[in-house]
Amino acid sequence: GQQLNQSPQSMFIQEGEDVSMNCTSSSIFNTWLWYKQEPGEGPVLLIALYKAGELTSNGRLTAQFGITRKDSFLNISASIPSDVGIYFCAGQDSGGSNYKLTFGKGTLLTVNP
């Protein structure tokens, strides 16, 4: 089946630093989504990307859909302690139905105040 390679697996940063994480795939995706999950909660949608090359921002978060449609990155600027959580990428494939999503394993972000 399809797989998403998400990196890094974990990050430990100081408050105020910028963060970058990415996902790559061997398959083309129609849509890339980025989610954040906090302990004891379900994933919350942060950003959705629909077109190759698209760059979208949501506050301090910026995500881009790769030109080849096989990768995406998420940047967080000026991190704060509440950014702590697991960030997941997810792709919806071009040949799929039911909007089935394939998820990466996640990036665990820890922010030291």
Partner 1 sequence: ETGVTQTPRHLVMGMTNKKSLKCEQHLGHNAMYWYKQSAKKPLELMFVYNFKEQTENNSVPSRFSPECPNSSHLFLHLHTLQPEDSALYLCASSQGPRAFFGQGTRLTVV
Residues that bind partner 1 (CB under 8 A): 4, 30-31, 33, 35, 40-45, 48, 50, 88, 90, 92, 97-106
| Residue 48 tokens, joined | 């959705």
Considering the complex, state which of residue 43 and residue 66 has its C-beta at the smaller distance from partner 1: 43
CB 111 within 8 A of CB 83: yes
Question: Minimum CB separation from partner 1 for residue 88, in Å?
Answer: 7
Beta pairing, strands 107-112 & 10-14: parallel
User: Which burial class, exposed, middle or buried, applies to 94 when counting CB atoms under 10 A from its CB (0-12, 13-18, 19+)?
Assistant: exposed
Smallest gap from residue 20 Cβ to partner 1 (A)? 20
Tell me the closest approach of the beta carbon of residue 34 to partner 1, in angstroms.
11
For partner 1, the closer of residues 14 and 97 by Cβ is 97
Nearer to partner 1, 16 or 53 (CB): 53
